[in-house]
């Protein structure tokens, strides 16, 4: 069954600070979104990429993708063997992903959801997720062990106030999850129709349906560009790749 990737790229990037929408900020001279699309299109499994653009930026994103398409007669809307579509996004990441799913043609039975804000994910991670879905898991997340110990706290009313610690989950059993997350399309669509509360990743919606979610090894370079220091790290990773 053909595999499509939905790339939510409609966020503002508030934590990165003022400027263009995060997905359109440059990394080594190229917009973060273009790095992310290339990373997914690098997988021989992925034949369609749906980019969910900032609500007022769909036309700009479409021309950006066309401008970065492979030269040599590549038709508009495709990068070599990978086609792309652009749709406008929504208020929340969840809504943006749903708008991307709504645009998927019927033949795609497997869907990857990948943050534009994870521009440097290696193709090996993409392929490992696709293979685990094809092996029968309804939902797959790339995940890494944590370096820091994690505490659950009672959040303070005012920022900066001390927060009582409530619990300390055993670190060895915790994982930090990344994207692309991979899904049986029907399971993900049903999750988006059923779950109404706000969540921070797609797999947790499928968990709420009672379906099995499995974790496969993630990759350090699939980190999310969230705060200014992450831009420093991303530039350093790209410089190391050019060596």
Cis-peptide, bond into residue 43, ω within 30° of zero = no
Among 67, 91, 154, 158, binds ligand CTP (CB under 6 A): 91
Instruction: Name the one range near ligand CTP by CB under 6 A: 65-73, 113-121, 166-174, 235-243.
Output: 113-121
Q: In the bound complex, what is the minimum distance in angstroms from residue 14's beta carbon to Mg ion? A: 7
Q: Calculate ∠ Cα 194-197-201, nearest 5°.
A: 90
Would you state the structure tokens that stand for residue 131, as one six-digit string? Answer: 């293979």
Q: Does 11 bind ligand CTP (CB under 6 A)?
A: yes
Which residue, 10 or 126, has its beta carbon nearer to Mg ion?
10
Q: Does 88 bind ligand CTP (CB under 6 A)?
A: no
Q: Does 64 bind ligand CTP (CB under 6 A)?
A: no
Instruction: Give the DSSP H or E segment for 51.
Output: strand 46-53
What are the CA-CA distances from residue 122 to residues 35, 83, 101, 167, 222 (Å)?
11, 20, 24, 35, 7
Which residue is it, tokens 């409530």?
Answer: 166
Q: Does 92 bind ligand CTP (CB under 6 A)?
A: yes
Q: What are phi and psi of 3, to 5 degrees?
A: -110, 130
Q: In the bound complex, what is the minimum distance in angstroms from residue 96's beta carbon to ligand CTP? A: 3
Q: In the bound complex, what is the minimum distance in angstroms from residue 11's beta carbon to Mg ion? A: 5
Residues that bind ligand CTP (CB under 6 A): 8-15, 22-23, 52, 89-93, 96, 115-117, 224, 226
């Amino acid at each position: 069954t053909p595999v499509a990737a939905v790339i939510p790229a409609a966020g503002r990037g508030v934590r990165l600070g003022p400027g263009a929408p995060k997905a359109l900020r440059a990394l080594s001279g190229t917009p973060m979104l273009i790095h992310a699309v290339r990373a997914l299109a690098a997988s021989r499994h992925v034949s369609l990429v749906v980019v969910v653009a900032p609500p007022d930026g769909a036309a700009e994103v479409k021309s950006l993708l066309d401008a970065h398409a492979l030269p040599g007669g590549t038709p508009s809307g495709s990068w070599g063997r990978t086609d792309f579509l652009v749709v406008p996004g929504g208020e929340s990441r969840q809504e943006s992903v749903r708008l991307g799913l709504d645009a998927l043609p019927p033949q795609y039975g497997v869907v990857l959801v990948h943050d534009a804000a994870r521009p440097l994910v290696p193709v090996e991670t993409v392929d490992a997720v696709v293979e685990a879905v094809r092996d029968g898991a309804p939902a797959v997340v790339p995940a890494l062990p944590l370096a820091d110990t994690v505490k659950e706290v009672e959040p303070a009313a005012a920022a900066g106030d001390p927060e009582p610690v409530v619990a300390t989950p055993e670190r060895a059993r915790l994982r930090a999850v990344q994207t692309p997350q991979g899904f049986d399309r029907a399971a993900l669509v049903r999750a988006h129709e059923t779950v109404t509360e706000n969540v921070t990743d797609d797999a947790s919606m499928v968990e709420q349906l009672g379906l099995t979610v499995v974790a496969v090894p993630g990759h350090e370079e699939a980190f999310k560009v969230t705060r200014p220091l992450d831009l420093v790290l991303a530039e350093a990773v790209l410089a190391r790749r050019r060596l």
